[in-house]
Structure 1
Amino acid sequence: MTVHGHSSFAEWHRNGQHASYLRTMKSPGAILDILEIERPAGDMSRPALSDIVLMEDMLGCSRVRGDLGGGRFDVTTRRGTLAIAAPNFATTVINEKRHRLRTLAFPLAQWQHVLDEAADGRFSFDTSCIYGQVFDSWKIRSAVRNLWALCEEEGAPSRLLARAAGCEILAELCRLGGAPFAPAKGGLAPWAQRRCVELMHARLAEDLSLDELAAEAQLSPFHFARMFKQSLGAPPRVYLTRLRVEKACELLEQTDLPITQIAFEVGYSSNQVLARVFLKHMRMNPSDYRRAVREPTRSIA
């Protein structure tokens, strides 16, 4: 169903009245939409859309007043201030000065079950004390910053990254809203850990989703992500990146495949993306690594 001809927050900013204010958009396909918007002073109200929208003020926009779904507010914001706009609510926002927002839009159909799992069904935007308010959270700011940085390195976020980052942020929103998320239930069973790692190896070149890994372990995505980290010492996305870098090293050492082909083999869209990831983890680019392992004496000299 669309509202006023627009189906989502991202679509509204692509094609709606505010399209000219869109600076950057990164989307992994309806799981989580990541946008940066720069808007002038004035009335920036919009129609009801079926997304939960998290906004971070990147500049500090002086005075802002309106209603995001939790009642009227009139505040002076600072750089890093956060706010949540309600799904299916026509927001009212009037800004005193030009401002820039980094926003994450969570399609409600994709995320309602995650919120229910995170808080054992106790979370409700209607009763949450954070709903529609301006607030601060270093943990959420850090998660958004890290997500943005990864998008800059690797392009549009993978389904695994989008779901995992969304789970982390929504769990913190539950806690801040007065519905602490359910305690962790320990690590993965040995059989589940083995099957998930095998699946990662087998589908290294694919955009493997958190939901698929969770299904392999017979768990919900929210609980799986936390239990995986307890068992293997790293979140699923970080662990998958390690596997990809290890496989890239193996192919660089043992084959003459072009680096672009190696990038595709380990799940990256181009040799430039592989180079950025490889440099971050191995402290050298793939070409230099290949030379170093194949001509060690010459490299030492």
Structure 2
Amino acid sequence: MFDPAVPDLALYQDLRGGTRIAGNLGWGNFNKTLARGNFVVAAPNFAHHTTADANHQIRNLSFPLLHWKKVLDEAAEGRFSFDDLDLRGGPIDSPVISSALQKLWSLSHEEGAPSRLLAQAAGCEILAELCRLGGEPFAPPRGGLAPWAQRRSLELMRARLSEDISLEELAAEARLSPFHFARMFKQSIGVPPRVYLTRMRVETACELLEMTDLPVTDIALEVGYSSNQVLARVFAKHRHMSPTEYRRVVRDPISSLEVS
């Protein structure tokens, strides 16, 4: 595989394992066998090449430097440089990155195209871990959100529930960089912003199903999902029933028990 130099940091995950990979991805030559779930990282602005000794299946995620360099500079108070990273160890086995990617793919499957908040928050988690593995760790957050910042960010999420709100917009409301906001939000609330947003959408959908006669399609749009099918997938995961079943149960629990 030969790829021209592009201004992206690229992350490749092996989905099968057992394949021996050799080449240079910008951190020096390597020749190693990948286990299933291992990652390799291709440096930005480097024409990289690799060879594999068998057919293999990979998943790719790219970080355009034009956007992410600014985020990392803010996180490192202007001191970040990709040139300082040392990822010459070849394949990476990282539960943190694996978990972030799995949640990203899972939520994308459930909700359709990933929201800006989902993609940006996952990107912050992945890049923070890559920097730690590459010898340039960021200082841990010194505390959670200030009470006023937490209140305003949650109010903004609720007010714009039907929109594709971004991490930058939430961070600006708290007067923080997106990177610091994502980590401080999780420390204060206990879950990342994207997870809390899903919970808020499901809770609001439950309220609308219980208190109004709006069609399920309208409720889906009201809480930020593109269709009633997407809402049904999310509902099945979080409430273990369809939106229509939920409406029937909460409005007429006795009849629902008799049917069961």
Bucket of the pairwise TM-score, normalised by the shorter protein: over 0.9
**Match for 2:98 among 137, 141, 144?**
141
Matched-pair contact (CA < 8 Å) for 2:39–2:91: yes
2:132 corresponds to 1:181: no
Counterpart amino acid of residue 49 in structure 2? T
Counterpart amino acid of residue 157 in structure 1? P
Q: Name the counterpart of 1:14.
A: none
Q: What is the SS of the residue equivalent to 2:61?
A: strand
Q: Aligned equivalents of 1:223 and 1:195: distance in 2?
A: 16
Q: Name the counterpart of 2:238.
A: 281
Q: What is the SS of the residue equivalent to 1:63?
A: strand
Matched-pair contact (CA < 8 Å) for 1:64–1:95: yes
Q: Name the counterpart of 1:115.
A: 72
**Match for 2:51 among 88, 94, 110?**
94
2:93 corresponds to 1:160: no
Counterpart amino acid of residue 73 in structure 1? F
Q: TM-score, normalised by structure 1?
A: 0.82
Matched-pair contact (CA < 8 Å) for 1:68–1:132: no
Q: Cα distance 1:143–1:245, how it changes in 2: closer, same or farther (>3 A)?
A: same
Give unpaired runs (5+ residues) of structure 1. 1-43
Q: Aligned equivalents of 2:254 and 2:56: distance in 1?
A: 56
Displacement of 1:216? 0.3
Matched-pair contact (CA < 8 Å) for 2:75–2:138: yes
Q: Cα distance 1:121–1:176, how it changes in 2: closer, same or farther (>3 A)?
A: farther
2:229 corresponds to 1:272: yes
**Match for 1:84 among 36, 41, 53?**
41
Matched-pair contact (CA < 8 Å) for 1:244–1:267: yes
Counterpart amino acid of residue 69 in structure 1? G
Counterpart amino acid of residue 132 in structure 2? R
Q: How many residues align?
A: 258
Displacement of 1:232? 1.9
Deviates further, 91-100 or 264-273: 91-100
Cα RMSD for the two superposed structures: 1.5
Report which of the two has the higher share of helix: 2
Q: Deviations over 1:187-238 (max 9, x none)?
A: 1111111111111111000000111000000000111111112222221111
Displacement of 1:69? 0.6
Q: What is the SS of the residue equivalent to 2:83?
A: coil
Matched-pair contact (CA < 8 Å) for 1:128–1:177: yes
Q: TM-score, normalised by structure 2?
A: 0.94
Q: Name the counterpart of 1:68.
A: 25
Matched-pair contact (CA < 8 Å) for 2:28–2:88: no
Output aligned runs, 1:207-226, within 5 Å.
207-226=164-183
Q: Deviations over 1:164-188 (max 9, x none)?
A: 0000010011111111212212111
Give unpaired runs (5+ residues) of structure 2. none
Q: Aligned equivalents of 2:84 and 2:135: distance in 1?
A: 9
Counterpart amino acid of residue 96 in structure 1? D
Q: Deviations over 1:232-268 (max 9, x none)?
A: 2221111111111111011111111111111000000
Q: Cα distance 1:144–1:80, how it changes in 2: closer, same or farther (>3 A)?
A: same
Matched-pair contact (CA < 8 Å) for 2:121–2:167: yes
Matched-pair contact (CA < 8 Å) for 2:30–2:88: no
Q: Deviations over 1:84-134 (max 9, x none)?
A: 101111111122211111111111111112223444445433232215832
Deviates further, 115-124 or 86-95: 115-124
